[in-house]
Amino acid sequence: MIGIFHEVCQLCSQNTTERYSTSFSSAIRLLHKDLRQPIYNIYGLVRFADEIVDTFHAYDKQTLIREFRDETFHAIERGISLNPVIHSFQLTVNQYKIDHELIHAFFNSMEMDLDKKQYNSSSYTEYIYGSAEVVGLMCLYVFVNGDQKKFDELKPAARALGAAFQKVNFLRDVKADYELMERTYFPGLNFRNFSYADKKEIEADIQRDFDAAYKGIIHLPVKARFGVYVAYKYYQSLFMKIKRIQPARIMQERIRIPDYHKLMIVLRASLSNQFNLM
């Protein structure tokens, strides 16, 4: 009956992914079927941790994230948890031998969100690594399935893709982060006077990450390549839309990609994949 328990827990991680992120869910469904559940399992855990620090305002977030972190590592060691999202995550960590340092770095970044409101260059780099780059590396462990040489080859690109996604999120969510959470991730910026030059500097940094990420995506194993490429195109499209708007508008609304546009992205990506134009 343990198989049913595994299945129920993993369905919870999948449902978490699908409810919280339609874009990522769509991209995951384009991975080979062997890869989908492990990626759902990773996303489920990082999503829950992010929710603790971002939305559980009526509760003791410090205690909750510490308990969540402790239970995660206990589960990895024991091979089981009664928390379905943690249980699913430990299945993937143990199956693919994901480096525990990545998980420590992730939780460190989550805890930074509890009391850090402004970031300098050093803390910003640390936060980006722990909140986003390590998630790309966890997924890469799944994609290469034990091929250490391939992992080492693609590691810089996986980090760059995670960083690009996170920085686009920061730029898209400036209004909410600054006004509601009182956070400023981009170092040295005053968003009361967010200028065109400030925006261009951030965009140039993000573009460098996208360029570095693409060089790795085209060399991913076939089972992973198309799904990752679609996620890349989703975020690239969102980034291009942000680039076209004025700085003041970013401080007024959250920029989105319509569902019909997401469908067009998948269709174009499919054609590029079919004709080896990626």
pLDDT in tens, 233-278: 999 999 999 999 888 787 777 777 777 666 777 677 666 665 455 6
Q: What is the mean pLDDT of residues 100-106?
A: 98
H-type alpha helices, 79-195: 84-96, 100-115, 121-128, 134-144, 148-172, 174-175
Q: Tell the residue number behind the tokens 């943690």, with chain if given.
A: 86
Alpha carbon distance 278, 213 (integer Å): 13
Q: What is the pTM of this model?
A: 0.92
Whether the CB-CB separation of 74 and 81 falls below 8 Å is answered with: yes
Measured in residues, the chain has a length of 278
| 190 vs 52: which has the higher pLDDT | 52
Q: Which 8-state DSSP code applies to residue 193?
A: G
Whether the CB-CB separation of 164 and 202 falls below 8 Å is answered with: no
pLDDT in tens, 46-81: 999 999 999 999 999 999 999 999 999 999 999 999
Domains of the chain: 2-274 (1.10.600.10)
Alpha carbon distance 54, 51 (integer Å): 5
pLDDT in tens, 218-234: 999 999 999 999 999 99
Computed over every residue of the chain, the mean pLDDT equals 91
By C-alpha distance, which of 270, 231, 235, 227 is closest to 256? 235
Q: What is the pLDDT of residue 253?
A: 73
Alpha carbon distance 270, 268 (integer Å): 5
